[in-house]
Amino acid sequence: MALTFANKVTIGRILIVPFFIAMVMYTTPGHDYFRFCAIGLFMVAVISDVIDG
């Protein structure tokens, strides 16, 4: 069974979720790097949702 483009994008979003959760959980007041990474991952998910329709 061949995957369509929409299915590939959806699988990519599903794979992003654990990394997003990890970045949110490891954010501390002194380490804003994780917060920015979480925002970046969220933006990737949003953009892929727009592309997917």
pLDDT for 32 equals 86
Length of the chain: 53
pLDDT for 12 equals 93
Give domain limits for the chain.
5-52
User: SS3 for 1-53, per residue?
Assistant: CCCCHHHHHHHHHHHHHHHHHHHHHCCECCECHHHHHHHHHHHHHHHHHHHHC
- In tens, the pLDDT along 1-53 reads 789 999 999 999 999 999 999 999 988 888 889 999 999 999 999 999 998 87
pTM of the model: 0.81
